[in-house]
Amino acid sequence: MKREFLHALPIIHALEKEGYEAYFVGGSVRDLLLGREIHDVDIATSAPPEKVQAVFSKTADVGAAHGTIIVMYDGEPYEVTTFRTESGYEDFRRPETVRFVTSLKEDLKRRDFTMNAMAMDKDGNLHDYFDGQSAIREKKIKTVGRPEDRYTEDALRMLRALRFSSQLDFEITLDSLEAIKRLASLMKHISVERKLTEFDKLLKGKAASSALYLLQSSGLIDYMPGLAKGMHGWDSFVSRTLPASLGLSERWALLLFDLEADKPKEFLKKWKMPSKRIQQIHSIYLFLLKRLEKQWTDVMLYEAGAKTICLTEAICESQPDWIVKTGVEKAAADYNRLPIHSRADLNTNGNELVQTAGKEPGPWVAEALHAIELEVLEGRLHNSRNDIERWFLRWSNQTGM
């Protein structure tokens, strides 16, 4: 058994000792069969949530009503979920209420795709009631049960089908694809947050281009914030080279670039991304635009900072038809050679300028600091206290500030 499962094995033993069943389920079992890296080893059990809480000393209740308890074991968090069925999907999305059941098979039946509906017991035996193994062998994404029924219950599963096809380079079965085309509009019931989680994984997948193509041809694209069928730039994005080394932020920046988004921040806000994430993607996008106009200047390098430089240059390097390349290494070396890397590196500060000028502080301080930064960066002024003071007094006289 692989290390990731061995580490969680005592949780299964502890539940079984109390007379319950417990199995590894879902993504980790699928990834084991695929030979993919395993993360998030989830456990399903016949024990009700309060029993799970009673058996383990360190737990967190993240959704006991849905049957999920986080068990901290040897420093690692594991999701332990009580066998359940999900009935009464009323709004074409995950149900608010669930019913706990005692059979593993019933629990597996509620899962989305056959490859995700397998369980493994403590001895490494597979419990595969829906033939997930064949699906994996044939590289097929198949719903557990009829596609129409499963997509109508929870419309997000349609987008999940596309993201798994992107991550695994699997084919979605024809009847599934047809159902997705018919039911695409149900996606309007799904929250932006859930769409973003899946779209991020789709964008990062190894077969992203074909999944992006499917997003448009299936009509799901119309329910993605800020995107729509036939929109300008989409086809260019679909045909982009997206090597594995290209991170998620760079991919989003390329999307903005191809769509020629006139309000890029507004577009990202529609996806309800955290503002730090929006800042980073937006900054890469802006420097990408500048960078395609001209080579890095020292001021551009300074304003972008090390991280944005590397990510922007990584995009340029990844695109075979873009000839304006500096290379991540050269750009980083040029950045390292700058005389200063932030305002804090200047051998002066606002207080000193106020004292030297003998004037009330005001907006002139920021302007003076900015002017000094530019002089130092462009090599006209040495970053020493005396030189800066002399330069500042002259500047102050000339500008009257």
Binding site per annotation, positions for Mg(2+): 40, 42
Element (H, E) at 79: strand 76-82
Tell me the closest approach of the beta carbon of residue 128 to Mg ion, in angstroms. 18
Q: Which is nearer to ligand ATP, 111 or 240 (CB)?
A: 111
Identity of the amino acid at 268 = L
260: phi > 0 → left, psi -120 to 50 → alpha, else beta; which? Answer: left
Q: Which of 9, 14, 27, 233 binds ligand ATP (CB under 6 A)?
A: 27
The helix-helix angle for 275-293 and 298-318 (nearest 10°) equals: 90
User: If contact means CB under 5 to 8 A according to the sort of partner, which of Mg ion, ligand ATP, none does residue 291 touch?
Assistant: none
Q: Which of 122, 157, 251, 282 binds ligand ATP (CB under 6 A)?
A: 157
Q: Which of positions 135-154 make contact with ligand ATP (CB under 6 A)?
A: 154
Using CB under 6 A as the binding rule, whether residue 26 contacts ligand ATP is answered as yes
Tell me the closest approach of the beta carbon of residue 304 to ligand ATP, in angstroms. 32
Ordered strands of the 59-63 beta sheet: 59-63, 68-73, 76-82, 42-45, 22-25, 119-120, 126-127
* Buried/exposed code over 323-338 (b: 16+ C-beta within 10 A; e: otherwise): eeebebeebbebbeee
Using CB under 5 A as the binding rule, whether residue 36 contacts Mg ion is answered as no
Q: Are 99 and 87 in contact (CB under 8 A)?
A: yes
Q: Name 345's Cβ contacts closer than 8 Å, sequence gap at least 6.
A: 339, 383
Tell me the closest approach of the beta carbon of residue 30 to Mg ion, in angstroms. 10
Distance of CA 283 to the CA centre of its chain: 17
Using CB under 6 A as the binding rule, whether residue 96 contacts ligand ATP is answered as no
Q: Which of 27, 226, 233, 339 binds Mg ion (CB under 5 A)?
A: 27
Tell me the closest approach of the beta carbon of residue 2 to ligand ATP, in angstroms. 15
Tell me the closest approach of the beta carbon of residue 203 to ligand ATP, in angstroms. 13
Q: Which is nearer to Mg ion, 111 or 240 (CB)?
A: 111
Dihedral (CA of 269, 272, 273, 274) sign: positive
Point out which residues bind ligand ATP (CB under 6 A).
26-27, 40, 111-112, 116-117, 154, 156-157, 201
